[in-house]
Structure formats: structure tokens, C-alpha cells
Amino acid sequence: MSTVHGRSDGLLGAGGGAGPFGVLRRALRLLEAVDRRPQGATVAELARELTLPEAQVQLLAEELETEGYLVRLEGGWALGGAFTLLGTQHREPMVRARLQHRLEELRDELGAAVYFSRYHDGELSVEAVCADEDAPAVHEWADFRATAHASAIGKCLLAQLDHDARLDHLSRHPAARLTARTITETDRLLHRLDRQPATVPVLDLQEYSMDTVCAAVPVVAGSTLGCLATSLPLAQAHRLREAAELLSVRAAPLMLAMAV
């Protein structure tokens, strides 16, 4: 795992900001720079144009290559075949297949269930879950759509809304007490959401279920307002912080896979 962290940390450096949003900005800038050089662009050329270290450009280019957005040519990097599908009826299945593959990889890396969720038309939707016998999913004993105030997924999505949208959601789904740790006071919940940094994972420490702990990080790509989350049985709660950190790193490639 340390090797993977080292590679990802290299992508999270300066030149576009920290965190997954910074990685996404650098990736899009790199694709634009390559597009301006149809005969191929060397790492040195790209590094000069983007004012980034060559090592960082190389790592980012290799990440884009795995998604099919870049390809190595004799003259350097060029746009890959994935772009031929963009804007066609094939795009949605392609994005969903890539998302599922990413989630499966992340589940195996974390040894924990992973989830991709969206907030759309005023409602929370868990759109993809990857779990297995060794990485069980959360038991949905109370409808996730009505318990956003108590789950890591829900709080992560609500944190991305403006104040009025949060109030609207809570007026339609009043905060009910699910466990002794659930926050049900609207003012207290809104205060916590206001203070939630965008780059820090949102945690659920037995607020939804006494048997499970969870973490979630935002995934914003185009019009998608979503989040990437993981859950662990309470007996493995000591692993949550490390899992949440890795989740933050892995959000960047997921955003890229969905945005481009």
C-alpha cells in the first residue's frame, strides 16, 4: 500500500491546488496541452507548458493512459481512443463500466465495502455498491434517502449543497434519532455541515448504525454532485482513518474517469 500512496501523493502536488480537485484540474490542463500537439507531446514539453515537474507530468500521463485518454507514441503522448466515444450514445455505459471497475479495485485495496452516491433532484441515491463476504455492505435498516443527516454519505452530499437546499432537504426528511449518537437538532447539524472542509473526509461514527462506521469524500464531476464512501464493521473501527485517507486519494481518478 505504501507504493500506491507514493504514486498518488506525486499526483497531489502543487500546480492546480491540493486534493482531488487539484488533480482533476491538472489532468484536464494536460489533456488540453496534448490536444494542441497532434504529432505527440514529450513530457519535457508538457512540463514546461504546465509549469509542473516532469516526474509529476509523467505520473499523471500514465494515469490517463490507464483510462484510455492518452497513448504513447514515438513522438511522445497523444490523445487516446477513449475520446472517440465521448459525446455518443456509448458514453454512459463506458462511464458506468469504468466506475464499477474503479470501485471493485478500491474495495479490494481497502478490504471494505465501497459506495458511489449522488444527490439529484433533491434526493440522495446510492448508485453503486461494491461489497463481498469479506467486505460487507451496511445493512440498510432505515432508508438511506431519508437518513442523510446520520450517514457519512448523506452528510457529505448535504455539505455540498447551499444553505437553502439543506433546509429544503431537512424539511422533507426530518432528522430522526437512529442511535444515541445521531444529531437531530437542525441548527447543530447545519453548523457541522458549514464547518466541514471540502478536503476532509466526512465520518459517521455510529450515527446511522451502532454496528458500523463509515467515511465519505466528495466527487464532483461536471453536473454530478456525488461522493465516494466506505464502511467498516465496528470491530474494525481502528482502520477507518487510514481508509478515509486512501479514499480521498482515490477520489481523484474516479472524478477524472467520470468527468472527461
Domains of the chain: 2-84 (1.10.10.10), 91-259 (3.30.450.40)
Question: Among the listed ranges 10-19, 86-95, 104-113, 191-200, which one has the minimum average pLDDT value?
Answer: 10-19
Beta partners for residue 78, in sequence order: 71
Write the CA distances from 18 to 3, 207, 249, integer angstroms.
Answer: 20, 30, 11
| pLDDT at 80 > cutoff 90 | no
Rounded mean pLDDT, 152-160: 96
Q: Which amino acid is at 253?
A: P
pLDDT at position 213 is: 97
Q: Give me the chain's average pLDDT, please.
A: 84
pLDDT at position 20 is: 66
CB-CB contact of 155 with 204 (8 Å)? yes
Among positive and negative, which fits the CA dihedral 41, 45, 48, 52? positive
pLDDT digits (tens, 9 = 90+) for 127-142: 999 999 999 999 999 9
| pLDDT at 178 > cutoff 80 | yes
CB-CB contact of 216 with 228 (8 Å)? yes
Alpha helices in the chain (DSSP H): 2-11, 19-35, 43-50, 54-66, 91-110, 152-159, 163-172, 186-194, 240-259
Rounded mean pLDDT, 137-149: 96
